[in-house]
Amino acid sequence: QVQVVESGGGLVQFGGSLRLSCTASKSISSMYAKGWYRQAPGKEREFLGEIRGRGPIINDPVKGRVTVSADYSQNTLYLQMTNVTFEDTAVYYCNLETFGGRDYWGQGTQVTVSS
């Protein structure tokens, strides 16, 4: 079992930036993929970006605003987002996927963009 905990959510000013952290109870360096997702009320869960073997992959709708990075010594995955809008208000989730296709999810952290 792998425990995943997101942190760093809260109120963010329109046009500002946010930085979220995801800590795991086991090594994330050996994971097949380490990624971030979000889900807004009434909408489906949306893929944001992930780190795989050859580096980070960012989904087109947020490319240029989102950076995914990792500190493997701390088993921590990061999400940075700039120039946030009201559409970025959502619960943000961290996902770790093993090479065997097993997924581990955090409970999510709420991000609310204010005017």
Strands 10-13 and 109-114, how do they pair?
A: parallel
Average pLDDT of the segment spanning 97-114:
97
- Say how many C-beta atoms besides its own lie within 10 A of residue 19's C-beta: 14
Helix (H) or strand (E) holding 112: strand 109-114
Residue 8 pLDDT more than 90?
yes
Answer whether residue 53 shows pLDDT above 90: no
Rounded Cα gap, residues 4 and 2, in angstroms = 6
- Region 11-33: mean pLDDT is 97
Question: Does the pLDDT of residue 26 top 90, yes or no?
Answer: yes
Q: According to the model, what pLDDT value does residue 79 have?
A: 98
pLDDT, one tens digit per residue, over 67-91 is: 999 999 999 999 999 999 999 999 9
